[in-house]
Amino acid sequence: MNKSIALLPLVALFSCGSPSEPTTTPPPVVQAAAGEPDSAFWNADALIDSVERQHFEHLRQITSGGDNAEAYWSFDGKKLVFQATVPKWGEACDQIYVFNPFTDDLLANKPQQVSLNGGRTTCSYFLPGDSLVLFASTHLGDTACPPVPPHVPGGKYTWPIYPSFDIFVSDLKGNLVKRMTDTPGYDAEATVSPKGDRIVFTSMRNGDMDLYTMNIDGSDVKQITHDLGYDGGAFFSPDGTKLVWRASRPTKPEDVKEYKDLLKQGLVQPTQMEVFVANADGSDAKQITNLGKANWAPYWHPDGKHIIFASNHATERGFPFNLFMIDMDGQNLQRLTNSDMFDAFPVFSRDGKYLVFSSNRGGQDHDTNLFIAKWKE
């Protein structure tokens, strides 16, 4: 669930083509009386590409400026929790925020901040009841933002795997109520089953980046992936019986050595990843994409039969990233967006009416903003 892939060189350093023209100042958020957003709510329909009109009926830009990503719905579908680095909000690295996408105006106002203890935070998600969220934070290691590995010209792109990341539970006002992990090494990327009984997360406690599950209270921790490689960004299916996630699987001796050497430095290289599905206990794991390059940020369609994900497999230079959908058996790949820069982190609302995602479209200086689309089948 690390959003670094959105913020770095894929757009900013390599700059593919010309970004779309910025939108005009959107109107205030308007909520229709019946509970559905009316026509005044949708401010970015002009940014919908012709390819996207098959599934995007309307579009709204939610944020403006900085890097905003990984927005996840509350159980009741009325709130989103997300991570962002927005200079005008006064934070130097990713922090966690919560808001109502149908009534709160983030174009004018800073949302409620949930992470108030310093450090870098990531991978937030609502717990059942929607009064608590979990997220990972480095604040116990240091309240300052941890350093970002420098980009080496001509070098390979890496993500930092901060060993001080642990998973915490907070109320919506920022009061920490529980520490969920307390083992050496990286613990993050936690999400919650729609059944409300289990949490899946990524941990390096065994020396590799594997998936684990635990009860909603943090008990009964079980390792569910065992193959060498990075396993992360996992989500339960709508009925809670299956998981989807992204994974690397180095097999050549030189690739295995490189992977292990990077892990020793607290780094992982996310440029070769595919999408996997399995039962919720990790059994019957299957690779459902074999596209090459980076296929990641998978999420379930509400029907439980399709997976939406981000990919750069159709490009030659590593960018742009676009959204695709595929059957859970790996058949019928469909392109959903047609960006010349970056679209990723797609997440459906539970009722399937809305898709929230991150995109560079319509922005300036390669900002990564949140958008919400009214979805049509």
pTM for the structure as a whole: 0.91
pLDDT above 80 for 132: yes
The pLDDT, as a whole number, for residue 362 is 83
Torsions phi, psi of 236, nearest 5?
Answer: -75, 150
Dihedral, 80, 42, 94, 249 alpha carbons, nearest 10:
80
pLDDT of residue 339: 87
Backbone dihedral angles phi then psi of residue 264, each to the nearest 5 degrees: -65, -25
Query: pLDDT-based confidence at 317, cuts 50/70/90?
Result: confident
Q: What is the pLDDT of residues 194-225, one digit of tens each?
A: 999 999 999 999 999 999 999 999 999 999 99
Q: What is the mean pLDDT of residues 51-58?
A: 97
Question: Higher-confidence residue: 156 or 301?
Answer: 301
Instruction: Of 30-34, 152-156, 297-301, give the lowest mean pLDDT range.
Output: 30-34
What local confidence, expressed as pLDDT, does residue 152 receive? 62
- 4-375 placed in CATH 3.90.1150.10: no
* HSE-up of residue 225 (Cα within 13 Å, Cβ side): 33
pLDDT digits (tens, 9 = 90+) for 331-351: 999 999 998 889 999 999 999
Other beta carbons within 10 angstroms of residue 194's beta carbon come to 17
| Rounded CA separation 201/183 (Å) | 13
The answer to whether 229 touches 245, Cβ cutoff 8 Å, is no
Helices and strands per DSSP (H, E), number in the chain: 2, 26
Nearest to 129 by CA among 177, 167, 183: 177
Choice between 272 and 317, residue whose per-residue pLDDT is larger: 272
Q: What is the pLDDT of residue 157?
A: 85
Q: What is the pLDDT of residue 364?
A: 73
The CA distances from residue 340 to 15, 54, 296, 315, in Å, are 10, 18, 18, 10
Instruction: Give the residue extent of every domain in the chain.
Output: 4-375
- The answer on pLDDT for 311 being more than 60 is yes
pLDDT (tens digit per residue) in 99-130: 999 999 999 999 999 999 999 999 999 999 99
Tell me how far apart the alpha carbons of residues 123 and 94 are, in angstroms, rounded to a whole number: 10
Q: What is the mean pLDDT of residues 136-143?
A: 97
Cα–Cα distance list, 279 to 143, 192, 204, 215 (Å): 38, 15, 21, 16
Assign 83 a pLDDT band (cuts: 50, 70, 90). very high
- Which tokens in the block code for residue 58? 């309307």
Ranges of H-type helices in 247-362 = 253-264
CA distance 166 to 181: 6
